[in-house]
Structure 1
Amino acid sequence: MIGSELDAAGVRQPELREAYRRCRVVNARYGKTFFLATRLLAPYQRPAVHALYGFARRADDILDDRDAGRSIDQQTSELTSLSNRLFTSLVDHEPGDDDPILAAVVDTARRYDIGWELFDDFLASMRMDLTVTDYPDRRALERYMYGSAEVIGFQMLPILGTIVPREEAAPYAAALGKAFQLTNFLRDVDEDLARGRVYLPADELAVHGVDRDLLVWCHENRRTEARVRAALIEQHARTREVYAQAYPGIAMLQPISRPCVETALNLYSKILSRIEALDFEIFTQRATVGTPQRAVVAAGGLGRAWAARIRDRSQPRWR
């Protein structure tokens, strides 16, 4: 299967093919919902998406190394090294990096003309995660999410293709990336607290009488206190609004890409529904979408994807 995808994508070099294979393995292992949605893309689109995911995961792995006893200085140094190596390959056009993940993402960036500044903005937000543990207001959180979520939407746009000028579709792509991340923030409140982080605006929580200490109490006592539930309900509603803002952008994509993006939106929004169904008891269990429900959503998307591919007669235009 992966071989046919790489053939369709025009990836011929053996080393580069192996690099893309590594990215696909990473995506399948760690990004199950995202990976499922990518199966609805045309084969020639998939390797590039796997490469972008692989790079994002590489940065995440550096951040998660704190759990293994690595210091902030060590992590900062590793993120700086990752940034420098990417810049050297992508911008200075020096010989390719021996890291297969970097080799694949550099190739993708060149093929689709994805600007270095988007990767730089992403890594800037990753560096924030090393020292920033709380966000005083939504504006501060938005600054973080620009690099950690919105630029992912910008990176995806040239791969997905648009029927309108790319800059017209960009705000919707950014909103979708933000909606996905806000969903993760709600789902992972308990897990993030265990890592010393809170990705909810402190001033909005304070309206309900909630602060970090109360969230920690919920974490330690494995229950959602009434004030916390009220705050989570408000955050849940705000996230639903971001999904509504993002949805019109699907119609701006090339028809062959719409089933994938719509399926991803549906799958992630079902996580929100699951959080609500649990009555926001997110400190006792992780809100997930079961395999049968994922299969139903994916099956509908697959039908739309096949129909779109039959109608599509265009070929990828490599740079």
Structure 2
Amino acid sequence: MSEPGKPIKVPQRPLAPSRILRPTVSRAGGGRDRASLVAKSYEMIAEGSKSFASASKLFDRGTRERVWLLYAWCRRCDDIADGQDLGGELGDQSDIADRVKAIRVLTKRALEGQPTADIAFDAFGQVAAECNLTMEMANDVIAGFELDARGWRPRTGRDLARYCYHVAGAVGVMMARIMGVRPEDEYTLARACDLGLAFQLANIARDMDEDDAAGRCYIPEEWLAEQDIEPGQLMKPHHRGEAADIARDLVLRMHRHQRAARLGTVRLPFRSRWAILAAANIYSEIGYEVDRRGKQAWDRRVVIPRIKKLQLITRAFAEALRNKPLPPDEMPEWELGDILIDVRMLGDIPEQEIKPLPDEE
């Protein structure tokens, strides 16, 4: 009993139940059911990239599901950055810098095992936990979106190599990790990067007109100068011949990278080897078709017919069984080791080469 005249001490009680104050438990996939993540990821790849979806079914089940989980994140990041829906037409680009920042924040949260309220990022958190993918790997990919956000354009072939690494080669490295390639196997990782570079070079050659319409240009300024193409005039009718010559150079580089990439498949399990060779065949055919069309390459979008894809997948099966890929006549000029020196030591790009972000003005 308290003494007269003294205030009664009331025990302090928490303002909210303790369960609310506890930190969120970290769980792969943000706590989502893995099967639902896989199912949604497959829907995204089936809609966003029919060629890749076809090739991915050749993997064993475990690898196939992880490939879909990784693809979902890549596709979602690309759509957020470009204001697209599963790779459709480019949307409003006015706030792209803020969107890239959001991509980085959501990716970091996913890697920490926290829910993101976005199934594609939760999918990345799931596959990252299973395959030990890191924020550094993710940042290498996100840097490609950031370059686009800054209105960057390559001055040299070496600049283009870095860009292709960020948007595709780095994904190839993560794909290799998903297929069980160990971090110390630098040769196979370099060949995986080659395949990503080949894919991106094919994409650039095919999409030169679409990029031009969106105000983007991935052709190095030095290459344009060599062809006497004035700024902003690449896809004008009077430069179609020069554009076709540039596309041929891109396809030649693509050819060397995809041939080099095949050398790394020797060490993969059969199903993974078959899938990678099928993807290499299909994407290479896109580049070869651009080259065959010449000046008419951009009259209509290059698409590989279903029957042709089946033929290329069948050819890949025979190649996977034989497992004796021939090296390219000449190894690619761009090597993963050299690119990483630029990325890690030199940074992305000098400040004078980029447009200022809104908060930097």
Normalised to the residue count of structure 1, the TM-score between the two structures is 0.82
Task: Please state how far the C-alpha of 1:208 moved relative to its aligned partner.
Answer: 2.1
* 1:163 and 1:254 in contact (8 A); partners too: no
Q: Say yes or no: does 1:213 pair with 2:232.
A: yes
Task: Please state how far the C-alpha of 1:68 moved relative to its aligned partner.
Answer: 7.1
Deviation string 1:230-283 (CA, Å, 9 cap, x unpaired) is 332223222222222222111122333100000100111111221122124223
Task: Please state how far the C-alpha of 1:14 moved relative to its aligned partner.
Answer: 6.7
Q: Give the number of equivalent residue pairs.
A: 290
Alpha-carbon distance between aligned partners in 2 of 1:250 and 1:306, rounded to the nearest angstrom:
11
* Structure-2 change in CA distance of 1:104 and 1:187 (3 Å): same
Give identity over the alignment, percent. Answer: 24
Question: What is the one-letter code of the residue matched to 2:261?
Answer: A
* 2:32 and 2:122 in contact (8 A); partners too: no
Q: Residue 18 of structure 1 aligns with which residue? A: 36
* Structure-2 change in CA distance of 1:71 and 1:301 (3 Å): closer
1:244 to 259, 281, 287: 259
Q: Say yes or no: does 1:148 pair with 2:167.
A: yes
Q: Secondary structure at the match of 2:68?
A: helix
What is the correspondence of 1:110-149 to structure 2 with a 5 Å cutoff?
Answer: 110-149=129-168
What is the correspondence of 1:1-319 to structure 2 with a 5 Å cutoff?
Answer: 15-65=33-83, 70-72=92-94, 74-91=95-112, 93=113, 95-162=114-181, 165-218=184-237, 225-301=240-316
* 1:48 and 1:105 in contact (8 A); partners too: no
Normalised to the residue count of structure 2, the TM-score between the two structures is 0.73
**Structure 2: 5+ residue runs without aligned partners?**
1-28, 324-361
* 1:137 and 1:203 in contact (8 A); partners too: yes
CA-atom RMSD in angstroms: 2.7
Q: Residue 6 of structure 1 aligns with which residue? A: none
Task: Please state how far the C-alpha of 1:19 moved relative to its aligned partner.
Answer: 1.9
* Structure-2 change in CA distance of 1:114 and 1:57 (3 Å): same
Q: Work out which of the two has the higher radius of gyration on C-alpha atoms and give 1 or 2.
A: 2
* 1:162 and 1:254 in contact (8 A); partners too: no
Alpha-carbon distance between aligned partners in 1 of 2:252 and 2:107, rounded to the nearest angstrom:
38
Task: Please state how far the C-alpha of 1:69 moved relative to its aligned partner.
Answer: 5.8
Q: Secondary structure at the match of 2:309?
A: helix
Question: What is the one-letter code of the residue matched to 2:195?
Answer: L
Alpha-carbon distance between aligned partners in 2 of 1:156 and 1:26, rounded to the nearest angstrom:
17
* 1:190 and 1:282 in contact (8 A); partners too: no
Return the structure number with greater helix share.
1
Alpha-carbon distance between aligned partners in 1 of 2:123 and 2:321, rounded to the nearest angstrom:
27
Question: What is the one-letter code of the residue matched to 1:213?
Answer: G
Question: What is the one-letter code of the residue matched to 1:268?
Answer: Y
Q: Residue 8 of structure 1 aligns with which residue? A: none
Question: What is the one-letter code of the residue matched to 2:277?
Answer: E
